[in-house]
Every structure is written in C-alpha cells, then in structure tokens.
C-alpha cells in the first residue's frame, strides 16, 4: 500500500475486523486479549491488526504490566472528515437541493 497518511488511514479502515476493533475501542480502552475475544482469529492476527491501526494513528497503546491497552485516537478521523469536506457538494443533500434551486432560479431569469 502507499505510505502517505490518508492511504494508511483508509487502508486501515478497509478491513471489517479493524473497524470492529475501533468500534469496540470507542466504548473504552481494551487489552489485546479482550479485543480478540469476539473474533475467531488468532492473537497474532489481532496483534498485527492493532499494528496497522497504530501505524495509521487510529489508536495509541500503552503498557500496564504484561498488558498492552489500546485506545482510540481522534486525529486521523478528523483528517478523513477534512478530506470528505472537499466533496461535500457531492454528498450533502441539502447543498445539492440548494444548487438545484439556484439553477432553476437562473433558468427562470433567462426565460
């Protein structure tokens, strides 16, 4: 995958397991074993998903004794929202309706 920040973020979000991990973390910090519990995959697999999320900046991790707890990080999500902003006029229904309205007004002016 490309190594720029947005690609890392989108790439991390492209996997359902990783999105589920983020969803779980949105309810609070958790250890690797806790995060792995709902899934039918091995701990090393979870461990690497966490690494992907960490590289994308979507989580941060800290060490408590032998446990490594993960927590959700906000910044990259804000980056995604900022990126989406560029396309607001394409997905914001209100804005689309406004544009259509203005278009109609202009046509009426011309006729």
User: Judged by CB under 7 A, which of 10, 11, 20, 24 binds DNA?
Assistant: 11
49 binds, among DNA, a second copy, none (CB under 5 to 8 A by kind): DNA
Q: Read out DSSP for 56-95?
A: TTSEEEEEETTEEEEEE-SHHHHHHHHHHHTTHHHH-HHH
Q: Which is nearer to a second copy, 15 or 37 (CB)?
A: 15
Q: Where on the chain is the footprint of DNA (CB under 7 A)?
A: 1, 11, 14-15, 17, 31-34, 40-52, 61, 63, 65-69
């Amino acid at each position: 995958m490309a190594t720029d920040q947005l690609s890392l973020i989108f790439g991390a979000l492209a996997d359902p397991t990783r999105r589920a991990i983020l969803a779980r973390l949105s309810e609070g910090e958790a250890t690797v074993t806790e995060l792995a519990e709902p899934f039918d995959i091995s701990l090393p697999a979870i461990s690497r998903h966490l690494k992907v999320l960490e590289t994308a900046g979507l989580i941060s991790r800290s060490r408590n004794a032998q446990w490594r707890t993960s927590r959700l990080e906000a910044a990259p999500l804000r980056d995604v929202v900022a990126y989406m902003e560029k396309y607001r006029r394409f997905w914001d229904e209100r804005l689309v309706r406004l544009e259509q309205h203005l278009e109609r007004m202009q046509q009426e002016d011309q006729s």
